[in-house]
């Protein structure tokens, strides 16, 4: 079974702020999340790991695909 993390725990897992995850959800969610009921938001650990894997770069000049205009 895949563990679900709250926004607070997901932020700690990714070493980002809660605000980063909240902005990501409002802006179109590069990081998949699960909405439970009307308020609860949860993140799958496997989705967080996939997001981390997608962020690998080999040069500081590389442009993020998700950040490209």
Is the full-model pTM beyond 0.85?
Answer: no
Please report which helix (H) or strand (E) contains residue 47, including its range: helix 45-54
Residue 30 structure tokens: 């590069």
Mean of pLDDT over the chain: 89
* pLDDT at res. 57: 86
Residues 15 and 56 sit within 8 Å (Cβ to Cβ): no
Instruction: Tell me, rounded to whole angstroms, the distance of Cα 45 from its chain centroid.
Output: 10
The Cα 22–Cα 68 span in angstroms is 20
The Cα 68–Cα 16 span in angstroms is 21
């Amino acid at each position: 079974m895949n563990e679900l993390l709250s926004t607070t725990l997901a932020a700690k897992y990714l070493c980002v702020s809660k605000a980063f995850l909240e902005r990501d959800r409002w802006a179109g969610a590069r990081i998949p999340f699960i909405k439970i009921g009307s308020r609860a938001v949860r993140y799958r650990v496997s989705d967080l790991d996939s997001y981390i894997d997608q962020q690998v770069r080999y040069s500081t000049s590389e442009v993020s695909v998700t950040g490209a205009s």
